[in-house]
Amino acid sequence: MHKYTKIKNYNQPMHSLKTISLFILLFIINSCNKVNEAVETDALEKEVHTLLSKMTLEEKIGQLNLRGTSSRVKGSLPEELKQAVREGKIGAFLNVMNKEYVDELQKIAIEESPNKIPLIFSRDVIHGFKTIFPIPLGLAASWDVNIAENSSRIAAIEASTFGVRWTFAPMLDIARDSRWGRIAESPGEDPFLASLLAKAYVKGFQGDSLNDPTSMIACAKHFVGYGAAIGGRDYNTAIINKELLQNMYLPPFKAAFDEGAQTVMTAFNEVNGVPASGDKYMLEHVLREQFSFDGFVVSDWNSVTEMIPHGFAKDEKHAAQLAINAGLNMEMTSKSYENNVKKLIKEGKISEKKINRLVADILRVKIRMGLFKNPLRVDNDKIVYAENHLKLAQEAVIKSSVLLKNRSSILPLEKSKNIAVIGPLADKPREQLGTWTFDGDKEYTITPVSSFSKEKIKYSFTEGLTYSRDSLTIGFKKAINNAKKSDVIVFIGGEEAILSGEAHSRADTKLPGLQERLIKELTKIGKPIVLVIMAGRPISLQNIIDDVDAILMTWHPGTMGGPAIYDMLFGVQEPEGRLPVTWVKTSGQSPLFYNHKNTGRPATKEEFVHMRNIPIGAWQSSLGNTSHYLDVGYAPHYPFGYGLGYTTFEYSNLKLSSNTITKTENIRVKITIKNTGNRAGSDIVQLYVQDVVGSITRPVKELKSFQKVHLTPGETKEISFELAIENLKYYNNNLEFDVEKGDFNVFVGRNSGSVLKESFVYE
């Protein structure tokens, strides 16, 4: 059982001599630690400044330069690149995926460049390197920080043997719109869950010590508000007021910095008229002052010069000036710094002092990484696809898959049944890896069909459609014939990997191609249908939801998708995931999220009139004047936090230890959970709070804590959470982070929609 609440010990204080001595000892250790830290910081800063004082302006500019290469450079390294490193004109590389090149370039840097400053090699290692885990939105569905941490640790161990010591992850953009392709990479829609995951990812990537050769420095991205792109269209404008930014979009970043994330990437988008790469308020005030961040900021791919088409910079030189003055340390791929810094200093538009600070931030991180002492890659080829990596990848699929529907408990399937396996993603190793998986090899990927072939089950496979967007009916006949001979149909469909991720937004998020049509044809046969979805986003299912008996969302599950899907379908394991995002009925409802405001006219069941029930020629009426759509209402298909397992639970007896919370007295919230089914299983018990009246309006509920419980059939457990005043604070209109007096509701349940409620007050 995992606990994410800070539980204080209620058996309060024993002031024995022993305890007092312990306190004194802890005080001494703590003070010594602080002294040590201060000494280390002084030494580090001294090293940074000694180095800086030896560097020419050209070399300093070089450190600000992140040079990209193609992932698949063929032949030998271009001489121009080697010469640039020799002259100290490059600070870091992106995508050098040939080990010999990594070694050659690093040797030039540390042996031939003027001050022998090592390079950092970087890569998008997002959800695994060789061993691919479920996409981040899938990992978020596990609500399991251990899975997040361990999967990123494994990614770092594998990638670092190729020389990659810096990953552009974790992506921490709160995403509330399934149309946005990058929702696949996101931690979902909730800042509390995203913050826990942020810490876990950073811990995993960076490991116990930054100077361990398997440590990869993390990059919290994209700073900030990228997920709020209008209409879910990638790169688009975001309009976010300051308190929403603080309450919703910034917490995961703060969590990553608190955990020691060394770098942060600016976003492509603008927020409130200012592109992220030129946003001085965000980079200097929020990042450096509010969050005390002392690592370095990297731009996104060409995002500095993209301030020109944004209409913020008039030319390349102006873009460099804005980004430098905003505090952006390292420019990815575009060359506005390289080409213009000298001129800008001469013209007095930027200062050399500012450049020194930007370079110092980078050197500080390089020293922390131990690169000056151990610059060279440590080869450990055998570690990729290690047995324990694959085992964790398989466990991650089980933990992140969400069972959305299971009519008449059709799942788990009986092994004695004849199964027709149909669908375009049942045997597509590349596609099941998902977005950002440059390094995962399809040869190592196990599909559902290849897993089924190793088991003692009776199945027959005909894909029906050759890829997810296929618009030809050629394969229908064979698939239908196969289905006719079966007892049950398992349809494995969804989206190919390329349909989500960067720049791959969709206006209509239903199953692409003719998948819905094929499912409709299959329903005519009258056999039960189990729909297994592999996709980068929630898929709108309203056209087929009643046609299928069970729905299992596996996201893009990665290398070990096949065996995990086998285990879940046949009941070796139950799917354990819970939705980290609201699942809309149709993309027309997007953006839809559970922690919305109430409005002055909240939607209700009683007031909702579907448009089909409005009389023809109806006069304007005030019936149903609430916040909803005439055609799909106001509720999603499945709320945030939703997910079924193979047993059932009953929640009862929600009790608070007090109806008043104070600065010093927390409230203990207790609930009883019973496994009412006939199989052992687990559930994620979720606690939400509503601040009923605020100086600015507050969300209808906000996730504040959760715990995973595992119960045997008939077993009952009392679960308890502790709520402290700290959990009720938020940023108000004056950007003060505080709690306001008044009434609060607390809800506990299986998801954000089904909850028991109690109330308390802060006086």
The catalytic site residues sit at 300
Closest CA to 329 of 258, 207, 223, 237: 223
Answer for the pair 525, 101: CB distance below 8 angstroms, yes or no: no
Residue 67 within binding range of ligand BGC, rule CB under 6 A: no
Q: Which is nearer to ligand BGC, 168 or 731 (CB)?
A: 168
Least separation in angstroms between residue 282's CB and ligand BGC is 17
Residue 334 contacts by C-beta under 8 Å, 6 or more apart in sequence?
A: 299, 302, 303, 304, 305, 306, 316
464: tokens are: 């029906």
In contact, 560 and 394? CB cutoff 8 Å: yes
Cα(179)–Cα(236) distance, rounded to whole angstroms? 13
Residue among 524, 459, 523 nearest 485 (CA): 459
Residue 221 binds ligand BGC, judged by CB under 6 A: yes
In angstroms, give the least distance from the CB of 133 to ligand BGC: 18
Shortest Cβ distance from residue 434 to ligand BGC (Å)? Answer: 15
Measured CA to CA, the distance from residue 603 to residue 629 in angstroms comes to 10
Beta carbons of 558 and 393 less than 8 angstroms apart: yes
The Cα 267–Cα 588 span in angstroms is 26
Residue 548 C-beta: closest distance to ligand BGC, Å: 35
Nearest-angstrom CA–CA distance, 636 and 627: 13
Q: Which is nearer to ligand BGC, 136 or 580 (CB)?
A: 136
Cα 125 to Cα 97, 154, 552, 680, distances in angstroms: 12, 11, 27, 36
CA dihedral over 355, 360, 363, 364, signed as positive or negative: negative
DSSP codes, 294-346? -SEEE--TTTTTTHHHHTS-SSHHHHHHHHHHHT--BEES--HHHHHHHHHHH
Check residue 201 for interaction with ligand BGC (CB under 6 A).
no
Q: How far is the CB of 227 from ligand BGC (least distance, A)?
A: 12
Residue with Cβ nearer ligand BGC (168 or 747): 168
Alpha helices by DSSP H, 55-144: 57-63, 79-86, 99-112, 136-141
Q: DSSP characters for 181-250?
A: GGGGGS--S-HHHHHHHHHHHHHHHH-S-TTSTT--B-EEEEETTGGG-GGG-TT--B---HHHIIIIIS
Residue 55 identity: M
Question: Nearer to ligand BGC by C-beta: 166 or 651?
Answer: 166
Q: Of 35 and 230, which has the nearer Cβ to ligand BGC? A: 230
Q: Is the CB of 345 or the CB of 433 nearer to ligand BGC?
A: 433
Residue 124 as a binder of ligand BGC (CB under 6 A): the answer is yes
| Site map 627..666 versus ligand BGC, x via CB under 6 A | ----------------------------------------
Compute the distance between CA of residue 347 and CA of residue 337 in angstroms, rounded to an integer: 15
Closest separation in Å from C-beta 254 to ligand BGC: 20
Q: Does 234 bind ligand BGC (CB under 6 A)?
A: no
Q: Residue 300, interface with ligand BGC (CB under 6 A)? A: yes
Which residues between 485 and 544 bind ligand BGC (CB under 6 A)? 502
301 belongs to the binding site for ligand BGC (CB under 6 A): yes
Sheet holding 550-553, edge to edge: 402-406, 550-553, 529-534, 488-494, 418-422, 458-462
The CB-of-70 to ligand BGC minimum distance in angstroms stands at 12
110/140 with CB nearer ligand BGC: 140
Strands of the 681-691 sheet, one edge to the other? 660-661, 755-762, 742-749, 681-691, 702-711
By beta carbon distance, the residue nearest ligand BGC is 168
| Shortest distance, position 463 Cβ to ligand BGC, whole Å | 32
Neighbouring-strand partners of residue 675: 649
Among 101, 143, 162, 168, the residue binding ligand BGC under the rule CB under 6 A is 168
* Closest to ligand BGC by CB, 167 or 554: 167
Write down the least CB distance from residue 276 to ligand BGC, Å.
11
- Per CB under 6 A, 372 contacts ligand BGC: no
Q: What are phi and psi of 754, to 5 degrees?
A: -110, 105
User: Which CB sits closer to ligand BGC, 144 or 173?
Assistant: 173
The footprint of ligand BGC on this chain (CB under 6 A) covers a number of residues equal to 6
Taking CB under 6 A as the rule, does residue 608 contact ligand BGC? no
Neighbours of 613 (CB within 10 A): 10
Residues that bind ligand BGC (CB under 6 A): 124, 168, 221, 300-301, 502
